[in-house]
Structure 1
């Protein structure tokens, strides 16, 4: 591989966007779910099926979005087995439409209170799911200028060496 190709390849690698990595977690903090321990959590993209008692329930979920990631959180329920299903965003102090997902969440903890009444013979059920995507970080303009400048200097140097070798 020629020096010119090496310089171009190095410049392309250094100028390509960087992908940030983190460890977003979704945690079941407290409540009366019959199949989850209060410290149940999963990391990254995933989900869980939650079994509720045959009575009123109130479950606290926390989504902690890692730096450099975005997350979508969704809750889904069958109206046959759970009635009065509600999602309350604790930080915003508002109820959220239970059929919609919480999209594009970033930056730290988000807490939600999920409540309803289990109406099935042995209770009710709902599911929670998280999708996590890394944020692609662009290369800052000053770094791109330095990389392009070093490539130009390399081209001029190689051109000067070839001329002096010919003479």
Structure 2
């Protein structure tokens, strides 16, 4: 019985560590699986230590604000290109707007060995809003996105959905 309790405690502890690790990486670049039409990820902006500096008088870490992103390659039949949905900012507040997320869209240019990201457009989406109805985002060829959900905490996060079929509006087909 005692070994079963130890094993259960270890599993519970491991589950907590895995859940915590998933929640703390909201500033990463998520790769939408190739060929998949829909995907969603929890994104955030977060100041992280990205390196260390040294000078004769002082040394220490330096930080940079990292922005959560979703990278998506158009599935077959939806055109061509690889795009990044970049979370510029997110406000976990219902006032004056309803949990606004500012998203930027970038398109990969060049070839696989030498490429760069070209800015396409920007949109602000409140909770439940999406880009499926057209506008500059869709006209730029960017994947339809939605501000699907939000969660508070020390690093507030927004769940951004990408769906090449659209969200109640025009698809990319």
Task: Give the TM-score range, shorter chain.
Answer: 0.3 to 0.5
In the superposition, the TM-score normalised over structure 1's length comes to 0.34
Structure with more contact order per residue of length (Cα contacts < 8 Å, sep ≥ 6): 1
Larger radius of gyration: 1
Q: Identify the structure with the greater helix proportion.
A: 1
